[in-house]
Amino acid sequence: MIVASAPAKIILFGEHFVVYGEPAIVLAIDKRARASAELRTDKRIYINSVDLGLSGSFMEEQFQPELGGEEARTKLEPIKIATQKVLHFSKKQVGVSIEVESSIPVAAGLGSSAAVAAAVVVAVSRLLDAKLSKEEVFRFAYEAECFVHGTPSGIDPTISTYGGVLLFQRDRGFKSLNVEGDIPLVVGDTGMERSTGEQVAIVRERRKHFPSIIDHVIKTGREVALKAAKALETGDLNALGELMNINHALLCAVGASNEPLERLVYAARKTGALGAKLTGAGGGGCMVALCLPEKLEKVAEAIKRAGGTTFIARKSSEGAKIES
């Protein structure tokens, strides 16, 4: 059996604006999805998602559910796609059993589906002795993500594949940022699942009604992200926090926030966070607060009192990798 893992992510700056070609800053964090892979004696792709309680097997385009009925087919399809991409690359006609488990909240803006896809690609490629480059791992994970999100920006599979802290731009790829120090973060989850596609459509609609205003907001988002990249590389946490607050205000302006997110953001700021903002598509999902290390627990408690569930996140320099 081969076991691989890949990290979740937090978008620190530039969500939504990245859709319009502007830069975003994303970091891998220490929550990971894990995938194990074993060869089968038949040619089926069997998948078991421990966290979702769904399982079943694919034989070409036929699906045989084990747990979860037709819902299982939809939810497990991206894992099948990731596996098929590696099988096709390896030119081996074999069956594979996949088991996935993850500590990453689902539909919360933390890149859970991309982390699962990247972990599956790495596990299956090692199982089949298919030597994939990082770029190929990214591409196969991205193609699996397309089933989930339509035409995603590519930011999630990029960070799950490479890890670290990246400045990402849709048409220009990414640049690794040299971030030496810790970035002490509290993540607050509203518990509201949301659709990235629906949130992107809300912003698009607002831009259609007020194009000159929203385009100006988007361009300002670019300036914020570029200044934040410098603050990260120099370790200026105070400037970073202030820029997070500005970025959040811009996201509110384009329609990405909602009341549960605002409650968590303001609870964090009131308790001494250096900065707090939504992360990901908004409309629910998660927010993130930057704190001095001694304030992490206090800010986490404040977010809980405001109705969120929390965890403390650390940056992870490792992307998708073999565990055993």
CATH number at residue 293: 3.30.70.890
- Asked whether residue 162 falls in the same domain as residue 56, the answer is yes
Q: What pLDDT does 48 receive?
A: 97
Q: What pLDDT does 250 receive?
A: 99
Q: Phi first, then psi: what are they for 182, rounded to 5°?
A: -75, 155
Where a domain ends, among 155, 177, 199? 177
Cα–Cα distance for residue pair 124/140, rounded to 1 Å: 12
- Asked whether residue 151 falls in the same domain as residue 220, the answer is no
- CA-closest candidate to residue 306, choices 266, 274, 275: 266
- Asked whether residue 197 falls in the same domain as residue 160, the answer is no
Stretches where the chain sits below pLDDT 70 are 151
- CA-closest candidate to residue 187, choices 304, 297, 299, 289: 289
- CA-closest candidate to residue 118, choices 32, 26, 31, 2: 32
- Asked whether residue 169 falls in the same domain as residue 206, the answer is no
Q: What pLDDT does 154 receive?
A: 83
Where a domain ends, among 121, 142, 177? 177
> What are the residue numbers of the active site?
156
- Asked whether residue 168 falls in the same domain as residue 273, the answer is no
Where a domain ends, among 159, 177, 195? 177
Q: Which residues span the domain enclosing 164?
A: 2-177
Whether residue 268 contacts residue 300, with contact meaning beta carbons closer than 8 Å, is answered with no
- Asked whether residue 296 falls in the same domain as residue 222, the answer is yes
- Asked whether residue 237 falls in the same domain as residue 149, the answer is no
- Sequence-ordered alpha helix ranges (H) in the chain: 69-90, 112-127, 134-149, 155-162, 196-209, 211-234, 237-253, 259-270, 296-305
What is the pTM assigned to this prediction? 0.90
The angle, 0 to 180 degrees and rounded to 10, between the axes of the packed helices 134-149 and 69-90 is 150
